[in-house]
């Protein structure tokens, strides 16, 4: 079902797994350490865009940062690659929270233990998710979408960036609320699912809000509701799920930077301080605003507490949903 039609920009971005961040003084890059930011999703998505923005703001005197896309298994392949790399502080993981706190609970055999194997460095920011339909679907409101699902349950398909992702779980929750299960259509990343949405191959999608905004404003897709606690300034006409009477679909996902737990403590402390400094630069603030991401600036201890809290929160929800992946 996945479409093979990609935008030229997406093809260019995916031509290399590692893209060097554009930094002044690149000719002297060999004099500084090379640090990889591992991202578990293809180029063009929110995690990838956030990683590239951060790499561009990293202090050039400290190292040259590159983004390395290790997509697959709902972002978990990037975690594995982080743990398999030398624990010298030059391989870091940039990941959305669901990869660490939801995916391990959904799979029968988790690929890692986030509390044992990873060391938090810095919190980056958070964003909401959104439910969207194709611009030519004839669906204009959440009420119309619900009516369409009820009248055509066999066509109620939803695209997500992959199995075990937060959008996957949101679709499960919505099906439970409607008492009409939605059929999950997982893709490898955001772009191919959106192509099929616009082509009418799937009824709807749950995706990170930043990946949908441009398409919504151009009319190629239509955002029907967002999972944020309040309406967004960039989408004043779009209700939250809570406002529509669906508080169970309120969800904000945070992003964080992690290293292997085997990394020396002194190296971790230095990295954490450097990265938090990068997050406070005007360039990073501009990038976050563009991506509809709220910068958070948690230190290592606060980020560690977030992981524990989210594991506990998801544990009960996953048990109630009955979802289990091989």
117-138 pLDDT per residue, tens: 999 999 999 999 999 999 999 9
Higher pLDDT, 254 or 277: 254
Q: Are residues 234 and 121 in the same domain?
A: no
Tokens 């990293």 appear where? 58
Q: Are residues 174 and 223 in the same domain?
A: yes
Tokens 């983004």 appear where? 67
In the DSSP assignment, the letter for residue 182 is P
Q: Are residues 197 and 274 in the same domain?
A: no
Q: Are residues 51 and 163 in the same domain?
A: no
Regarding pTM above 0.75, the answer is yes
Pairwise CA distance, residues 295 & 27, whole Å? 31
The answer to the question of residue 326 being in a domain is no
63-117 pLDDT, tens digit per residue, is: 789 999 998 888 899 999 999 999 999 999 999 999 999 988 888 888 899 999 9
Q: Are residues 132 and 245 in the same domain?
A: yes
Identify the pLDDT of residue 19: 42
Range of the domain at 14: 8-126+254-321
Is residue 233 scored above 90 in pLDDT? no
Q: Tell me which of 45-49, 132-136, 256-260 is least confident.
A: 45-49
């Amino acid at each position: 079902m996945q479409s093979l039609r990609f935008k030229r920009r997406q093809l260019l971005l995916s031509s290399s797994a590692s893209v060097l961040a554009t930094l002044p003084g690149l000719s002297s890059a060999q004099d500084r350490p090379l640090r990889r930011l591992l991202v578990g999703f293809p180029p063009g998505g929110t995690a990838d865009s956030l990683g590239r923005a951060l790499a561009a703001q990293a202090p050039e005197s400290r190292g040259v940062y590159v983004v390395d896309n290790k997509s697959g298994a709902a972002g978990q392949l990037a975690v594995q690659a982080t743990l398999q790399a030398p624990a010298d502080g030059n391989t870091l993981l940039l990941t959305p929270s669901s990869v660490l706190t939801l995916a391990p609970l959904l799979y029968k055999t988790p690929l890692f233990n986030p509390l044992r194997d990873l060391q938090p460095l810095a919190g980056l920011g958070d964003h909401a998710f959104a439910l969207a339909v194709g611009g030519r679907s004839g669906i204009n409101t959440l009420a119309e979408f619900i009516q369409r699902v009820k009248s055509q349950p066999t066509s109620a398909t939803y695209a997500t960036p992959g199995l075990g992702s937060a959008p996957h779980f949101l679709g499960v929750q919505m099906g439970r609320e409607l008492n009409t299960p939605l059929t999950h259509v997982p893709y490898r990343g955001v772009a191919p699912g959106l192509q099929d949405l616009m082509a009418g191959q799937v009824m709807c999608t749950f995706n990170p809000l930043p990946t949908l905004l441009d398409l919504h404003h151009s009319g190629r897709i239509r955002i029907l509701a967002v999972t944020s606690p309040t309406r967004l300034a960039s989408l004043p006409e779009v209700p939250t799920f809570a406002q529509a009477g669906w508080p169970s679909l309120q969800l904000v996902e945070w992003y964080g930077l992690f290293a292997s737990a085997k990394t020396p403590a002194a190296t971790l402390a230095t990295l954490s301080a450097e990265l938090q400094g990068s997050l406070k630069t005007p360039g990073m603030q501009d990038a976050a605003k563009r991506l509809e991401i709220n910068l958070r600036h948690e230190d290592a201890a606060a980020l560690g507490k977030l992981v524990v809290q989210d594991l506990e929160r998801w544990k009960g929800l996953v048990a109630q949903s009955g979802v289990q992946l091989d």
